[in-house]
Amino acid sequence: MDQVNGSVVTEFVLLELAQSLAMQFLLFLFFSLFYVGIILGNLFIVFTVIFDSRLHSPMYILLANLSLVDLGLSSTTVPRMISDLFSDCKTISFYNCMIQMFFIHLMGGAEMVLLIVMAYDRYIAICKPLHYLTIMNLKMCMTLILAAWIAGMIHAVSQFVFVINLPFCGSNNVGSFYCDFPRVIKLACMETYRLEFVVIANSGFISMGTFFFLIVSYIFILVTVRKHSSNDLSKAFFTLSAHITVVVLFFTPCMFLYLWPFPTKSLDKFFAIVDFVVTPVLNPAIYTLRNRDMKVAMRRLSRQVVSSREMT
Ligand SMILES: *[C@@H]1O[C@H](CO)[C@@H](O)[C@H](O)[C@H]1NC(C)=O
């Protein structure tokens, strides 16, 4: 098959999220509020961790990096979702569509590995507390964070190389409000079974495998915590349940979007919104509301900001 000049599709059409003006307005409010919450909440975590030297431990450095990834992940889709709500033609150019897919998977892949790293960090802290400082030193922490970004890069590139050269010549209706591999591949004018399998394996199986791995790891850590019950028990339990909540929230939509063989538009929409809008705003809430150190640090930071403003 000649693929060189096959691409005649120069833009894709995205799905309309709401038909009625009232619904558009409601969604506009909802998404805008959440997106502002995502930006403020996650940036607040990042700055709290950076400026409070008491939080310069691997757990909080990882948390701040997770906040950055969350911020990036929702920025791949939410601003466009908001601006598309009121526009009549919901088209996205071929290259913007490719870029959007690439960044979704770069951020998504990095987030996945970061969640594994955070579980590993808790495993060492709780199951090997005496070796924690030697194993999770700053260098190790930096290496693992770098590994998360490299893994995200490999994950995104490995799908991207297949899609960028596909011939698109027929329908250009993505059938979703953002571009993603499973939907876009279906539009190519050629047999795509094999490619669909690549996408399912690369996104679906990986997210399912990671999910079960993480859940089993956390159960293991929880069992260990119970065995060595000390007064740290409730603190560890809160931290771990926060991590587990985030894992479930992030992976359930992923598994559905990439593995469920019978996509339905309404469920698709719902799960995508959970991953891009709800989870990124819940992360800061979950971590800060349940974490005493974080709350104390945030209060300290806001006091400093207020008092420095009073001085100037
Ligand atoms: C993210 O991780 C890197 C590497 O460890 C660290 O230097 C950086 O401060 C972290 N980012 C934030 C916002 O804490």
Residue 87 lies in a domain: yes
- 49-101 pLDDT tens trace: 998 888 888 989 999 999 999 999 999 999 999 988 888 778 899 899 999 99
| Residue 32 CB neighbours (<10 A) | 14
**137 Cα–ligand 1 center, Å:** 13
- As to burial, measured by CB atoms within 10 angstroms (0-12 exposed, 13-18 middle, 19+ buried), residue 54 is exposed
What CATH number is associated with residue 304? 1.20.1070.10
Residue 16 lies in a domain: yes
The whole-angstrom distance between residue 60's C-alpha and the CA centroid of its chain comes to 18
**151 Cα–ligand 1 center, Å:** 17
Tokens representing 101? 């897919």
**175 Cα–ligand 1 center, Å:** 37
Q: Name 91's bridge partners.
A: 13
Please tell me the predicted confidence (pLDDT) of residue 2: 38
Residue 296 corresponds to which amino acid? V
What residue has token string 């279906």? 186
Percent with pLDDT over 70 in the chain: 95
Q: How far apart are CA 180 and CA 185, in angstroms?
A: 8
Q: How far apart are CA 261 and CA 255, in angstroms?
A: 11
Residue 20 lies in a domain: yes
Can you tell me which atom of ligand 1 is nearest the CA of 138? Answer: 5
Task: Give me the number of domains the chain comprises.
Answer: 1
**227 Cα–ligand 1 center, Å:** 33
Q: How far apart are CA 246 and CA 287, in angstroms?
A: 9
Can you tell me which atom of ligand 1 is nearest the CA of 61? Answer: 14
What residue has token string 């409601």? 26
Residue 307 corresponds to which amino acid? S
- Which residue range is the domain that position 117 belongs to? 11-311
- 103-133 pLDDT tens trace: 999 999 999 999 999 999 989 988 888 899 9
pTM of the model: 0.88
What DSSP letter does each residue of 166-206 carry, written as one string?
Answer: ----S--B-SSSS--HHHHHTTSSS--HHHHHHHIIIIIIH
Tokens representing 66? 């997770």
Residue 4 lies in a domain: no
- 258-288 pLDDT tens trace: 888 777 777 888 888 888 999 898 887 887 7
Can you tell me which atom of ligand 1 is nearest the CA of 49? Answer: 14
Ligand 1 binding pocket mutation candidate from 145, 149, 150, 294 (most atoms within 8 A of CB): 145
Please tell me the predicted confidence (pLDDT) of residue 5: 46
Residue 296 lies in a domain: yes
Residue 1 lies in a domain: no
The whole-angstrom distance between residue 120's C-alpha and the CA centroid of its chain comes to 18
Please tell me the predicted confidence (pLDDT) of residue 232: 64
Q: How many CA atoms lie within 13 A of 132 on its CB side?
A: 14
Residue 6 lies in a domain: no
Instruction: List the one residue out of 218, 279, 286 whose CA is nearest residue 253.
Output: 279
What DSSP letter does each residue of the chain carry, written as one string?
Answer: ---TT-----EEEPPPS--SHHHHHHHHHHHHHHHHHHHHHHHHHHHHHHH-GGG-SHHHHHHHHHHHHHHHHHHTTHHHHHHHHT-S--EEEHHHHHHHHHHHHHHHHHHHHHHHHHHHHHHHHHHSGGGHHHHS-HHHHHHHHHHHHHHHHHHHHHHHHHHHT----S--B-SSSS--HHHHHTTSSS--HHHHHHHIIIIIIHHHHHHHHHHHHHHHHHHHHHHT--TTHHHHHHHHHHHHHHHHHHHHHHHHHHH-SS--HHHHHHHHHIIIIIHHHHHHHHHHHT-HHHHHHHHHHHHHHHHHHHH-
**228 Cα–ligand 1 center, Å:** 32
Residue 104 lies in a domain: yes
Please tell me the predicted confidence (pLDDT) of residue 223: 86
